[in-house]
Amino acid sequence: MKADQRAATPPNAAPSGPAQPRDRRAVRRANLGAVLRILRDTGPRSRAQLAGDTGLPKPTVTTLVAELVSLGLAAEGPVRREGAVGRPGTLVHLDGRAVCGIGVEISTSYVHVLALGLTGDLAYERRGAIDVARTGADAVLDHVARTVQDCLAALERDGRRPTGLTLAVPGVVDRTSGAVAYAPALGWRDVPVAAELLARLTGEVPRLTVENDAKAGAMAEYVRVQGGDVHDMVCITGERGIGAGIISDGRLLRGRAGFAGEVGHMPLGSERRTCVCGRRGCWETMVGLDALLRLAADGDDGIHDTDVEPEARLAELRRRAEGGDPRTLEALDRVADDLGLGIAVLADVLNPGVVVLGGYFTHIGDLMIDRVRGVVRDRVMAPDAGGCAVVLSTLGFTAAARGGAYLALDAVYREPGAV
């Protein structure tokens, strides 16, 4: 993905040492991928520009472009730039209308399936409310399989071929085996989700991988800022649980065992409220969606109804806040203070350029953001919070599925010829 394609890295980087004859096909695959990534990251380019970008001879670039066009991954056409005179130049641009990547998010309260084309166009989307922890893993995976099967059928009708499927789950995942090792918010432990889902699907199924939802969401957020000077960021997901995807120097941090980003379980709570993980005082017991709703209303209030989409419940909470309801306003202030506290800790440790607040924060965070920024500014050791900006995501609850789709598409950029 883009997090692994820094501008400082030569786009045509080949294995070290002189290329041997047996390496020709590998070098060609690498060069095809390099050209495709340049088109993704910089937009339409002329063949001469591509030659300059890659350092490859123009005839070689011409051959590579022709192959990408034959694969349906690129197209050529005249484009007149603004202010230009004379005949328009012929530029090469991404196409890939026939391929797409599928992202599936299993959240605590919904399942979201989304497919994106190579250029980021939406090819399919469906989301349904489901109380995952109460439903149980088997029934949830039955639901996921039905939704994915519908997605595959719709893509086939549209003449689009999926290159991969990424399943995003809020917990610690074993990416090698495709199992969820521990997902406390779901009540799952050692669930072989990849194998179980594959067993439920029929027909031709694309390559399936499993990823942590916060990490997938971070990829989606990083794609959005690609081209800007942002290569260090923390993307915080906000639903019942709290997690983070951490981009450092343009790369996604996983940690030795994949636990990097489990920030929701930092022990910051002075009330020592019990967390779903079994410990007390975790950050998500202070700033997760359940914490906000608990502070804002009694348990029998309709905003606690998990059969209702989160956006609808948050819209009601916003209505109350804008109407001046004291309890709602106090709840927002309390969560803002605790959110700023945790972000300040992360800023001191990681010194990111940006902290992106996603999930439920996208829908109601504007009512808290100024207070959060003030707390971060006051608590971070470095002047001006170390240059850390706190911003709201525009992706909301779609980030994890969208990031999963981007990760699924990564195979195209790594080996375009396999399409």
CATH of the domain at 332: 3.30.420.40
Look at residue 13 and tell me whether its pLDDT is greater than 50: no
CB 405 within 8 Å of CB 372: no
Residues 151 and 122 in one domain: yes
CB 415 within 8 Å of CB 164: no
Q: Which residues contact 400 (CB under 8 A, 6 or more apart)?
A: 103, 105, 107, 112, 168, 213, 214, 216, 217, 220, 237
Look at residue 11 and tell me whether its pLDDT is greater than 50: no
| Residue 74 tokens, joined | 């690129």
Give the per-residue pLDDT at 84: 54
Average pLDDT of the segment spanning 17-43: 75
Angle between helices 137-157 and 193-200 (to 10 degrees): 50
pLDDT band at 100 (very low <50, low <70, confident <90, very high): very high
Cα 129 to Cα 310: distance, rounded to the nearest angstrom? 9
pLDDT band at 37 (very low <50, low <70, confident <90, very high): confident
Residues 59 and 143 in one domain: no
Residues 394 and 404 in one domain: no
Question: How many structural domains compose the chain?
Answer: 3
Cα 269 to Cα 283: distance, rounded to the nearest angstrom? 6
Which one, of 194, 216, 217, lies nearest residue 206 by Cα? 194
Average pLDDT of the segment spanning 220-229: 80
CB 105 within 8 Å of CB 216: yes
Higher pLDDT, 1 or 139: 139
Q: Which residues contact 192 (CB under 8 A, 6 or more apart)?
A: 177, 178, 179
Look at residue 3 and tell me whether its pLDDT is greater than 80: no
CB 405 within 8 Å of CB 209: no
Give the per-residue pLDDT at 292: 96
Q: What is the pLDDT of residues 380-412, one digit of tens each?
A: 999 989 999 999 998 988 999 999 999 999 889
CB 99 within 8 Å of CB 117: yes
Give the per-residue pLDDT at 86: 54
Cα 332 to Cα 90: distance, rounded to the nearest angstrom? 54
Residues 277 and 314 in one domain: yes
The helix, strand and coil proportions of the chain, stated in percent and rounded to the nearest 5, come to 45, 20, 30
pLDDT band at 259 (very low <50, low <70, confident <90, very high): confident
CA distances from 81 to 52, 74, 87, 88 (A): 19, 19, 10, 8
Domain boundary among 50, 67, 94: 94
Residues 227 and 372 in one domain: yes
Residues 231 and 357 in one domain: yes
Residues 238 and 369 in one domain: yes
Q: What is the pLDDT of residues 152-171, one digit of tens each?
A: 999 999 999 999 999 999 98
CB 275 within 8 Å of CB 289: no
Cα 265 to Cα 270: distance, rounded to the nearest angstrom? 13
Look at residue 265 and tell me whether its pLDDT is greater than 50: yes
Residues 303 and 375 in one domain: yes
Domain boundary among 94, 128, 154: 94
Residues 286 and 368 in one domain: yes
CB 53 within 8 Å of CB 30: no
Residues 16 and 142 in one domain: no
Average pLDDT of the segment spanning 339-346: 96
Look at residue 63 and tell me whether its pLDDT is greater than 60: yes
Give the per-residue pLDDT at 135: 92
Residues 103 and 88 in one domain: no
Q: Which residues contact 156 (CB under 8 A, 6 or more apart)?
A: none
pLDDT band at 88 (very low <50, low <70, confident <90, very high): low
CB 369 within 8 Å of CB 390: yes
Give the per-residue pLDDT at 79: 59
Look at residue 210 and tell me whether its pLDDT is greater than 90: yes
Q: What is the pLDDT of residues 274-305, one digit of tens each?
A: 888 888 999 999 999 999 999 999 989 999 98
Residues 103 and 157 in one domain: yes
Average pLDDT score, the chain? 87
Domain that holds residue 51: 2-94
For CA atoms 97, 98, 103, 104, the dihedral sign is positive
E strand or H helix at 373, and its extent? helix 369-379
| Listed range (3-12, 46-55, 324-333, 407-416) with the worst mean pLDDT | 3-12
E strand or H helix at 190, and its extent? strand 188-191
Look at residue 10 and tell me whether its pLDDT is greater than 50: no
CATH number for 29 = 1.10.10.10
Look at residue 6 and tell me whether its pLDDT is greater than 50: no
| Residue 204 tokens, joined | 């031709």
